[in-house]
Amino acid sequence: MGTHVIKMPDIGEGIAQVELVEWFVKVGDVIAEDQVVADVMTDKATVEIPSPVSGKVLALGGQPGEVMAVGSELIRIEVEGSGNHVDAPQGKPAEAKPVEPVAAPAANTPPARAAVAAPACQAAATATAAPIVPRQAGDKPLASPAVRKRALDAGIELRYVHGSGPAGRILHEDLDAFMSKPQTATGQAPSGYAKRTDSEQVQVIGLRRKIAQRMQDAKRRVAHFSYVEEIDVTALEALRQQLNQKHCDSRGKLTLLPFLVRALVVALRDFPQINATYDDEAQVITRHGAVHVGIATQGDNGLMVPVLRHAEAGSLWGNASEIGRLATAARSNKASREELSGSTITLTSLGALGGIVSTPVVNTPEVAIVGVNRMVERPMVIDGQIVIRKMMNLSSSFDHRVVDGMDAALFIQAVRGLLEQPACLFVE
């Protein structure tokens, strides 16, 4: 199946714009060659636009009443045969001949692709005599046994071959034409998929612009140093599931995040240089007593980082519910400015989408970000035995200007120790 595009024809008189008056077809309609698809109007006359091909309407290029530039896309039709070829229209009335776009105005955005419901007045247009119906998806290609055998011998799938005979029957001539066509690079039959040449411009505004600036700023200033360690979370998961089983109804469900927060809180006691912000213009590092954990969250419009304040003072369930509340608020764009600033360290997790390794970007002016990768069951060797353990990687980045590699590594190892022996999270 290929795509045939009819462009707004030049109706003459040197006019660059034409008003679309009425559609006679709608998306999904099967149309015959020469069937009138639309009426367009110049200052002087209304002109019928016939289709030079038979096929199925894929998209309409505009709505009735829209003024369209000559050369812009009027209608898109799925036609039988190779998708890489737009058949040249054959023997059309002169006025319907597609022409090159005449100085399409630069500001003219592409017409909406959305299906436009056309008035259902197809009237007599469909009652054409010539019964040429394009092959529908799933239809068996029609060919005589001799043609079928020849195609099998040549390794050609007939469903890719255009049939020019009655009812779309594939003739020996069609096979000849197909075989004489230059094959694609791999020597395979054409894919049957149309090439796409469309593109879309999206303005970088609002939150997106903010994110772009922040990311660029972080990458320019911070000397990123990433460190990945794998954590055996089998025990932690067992604990989490047990707590959920017992207290889910009364205290709410625990995800992994509150445990990670707790691990950061405990580990950071020994690594004050990591729970810090670095003002590189003033050349001052501020080490924070409070642990305000930024929780990277995907909102509708982009990345947001709501802040779990004073995580060091929150209980497991308290932190859990606060994280839940913040995430909901951020996603629905209801988080306050207060809730979106002031973090001292950031946690980023994509859950099941976490991958095996990531290289998170430090949320300046912080100096560390801890990324959570996907949890998977993997065979591990413990005491010479292969056992199945739940494994999860932590991919963390640090500002190497102020955090030494050794400290970063020791910090992550401390976090690992806490997570692998979850009792330590709570034993003071």
What positions carry a catalytic annotation? 400, 404
Nearest to 2 by CA among 76, 58, 83, 57: 83
Binding mask 168-207 for other proteins (x = CB under 8 A): xx--------------------------------------
Stretch that binds other proteins, among 85-93, 164-172, 279-287, 360-368 (CB under 8 A): 164-172
Stretch that binds other proteins, among 10-18, 165-173, 269-277, 291-299 (CB under 8 A): 165-173
Residue with smaller CB distance to other proteins, 148 or 390: 148
Residue in 85, 148, 224, 400 binding other proteins, rule: CB under 8 A: 148
Nearest to 12 by CA among 94, 89, 91: 94
Cβ count within 10 A of residue 340? 17
Q: For residue 379, count CB atoms less than 10 angstroms from its CB and return exposed for 0-12, middle for 13-18, buried for 19 or more.
A: exposed
The token pair that represents 68 in the structure block: 């369209």
327/334 Cα distance (integer angstroms): 10
Residue in 104, 133, 316, 340 binding other proteins, rule: CB under 8 A: 133
Q: Does 131 bind other proteins (CB under 8 A)?
A: yes
Residue in 102, 104, 142, 316 binding other proteins, rule: CB under 8 A: 142
Q: Does 167 bind other proteins (CB under 8 A)?
A: yes
The token pair that represents 116 in the structure block: 């436009």
Stretch that binds other proteins, among 66-74, 138-146, 221-229, 272-280 (CB under 8 A): 138-146
What is the helix, strand, coil percentage profile of the chain, to 5? 30, 25, 45
CB of residue 144 to other proteins, shortest distance in Å: 5
Strand order in the sheet with 55-60: 2-7, 73-79, 55-60, 30-31
Where do we find the tokens 């932690």?
Answer: 236
**Is residue 227 within 8 Å of residue 384, measured between CB atoms?**
no
Residue with smaller CB distance to other proteins, 147 or 264: 147
320/295 Cα distance (integer angstroms): 12
CB of residue 33 to other proteins, shortest distance in Å: 13
Residue in 88, 103, 152, 284 binding other proteins, rule: CB under 8 A: 152
Helical packing angle, 405-420 and 257-268, nearest 10°: 130
3-state class of 50 per DSSP?
strand
CB of residue 80 to other proteins, shortest distance in Å: 12
The token pair that represents 18 in the structure block: 């034409």
Stretch that binds other proteins, among 105-113, 162-170, 289-297, 414-422 (CB under 8 A): 162-170
CB of residue 5 to other proteins, shortest distance in Å: 25
Positions touching other proteins (CB under 8 A) are 131-133, 140, 142-145, 148, 152-153, 155, 165-169
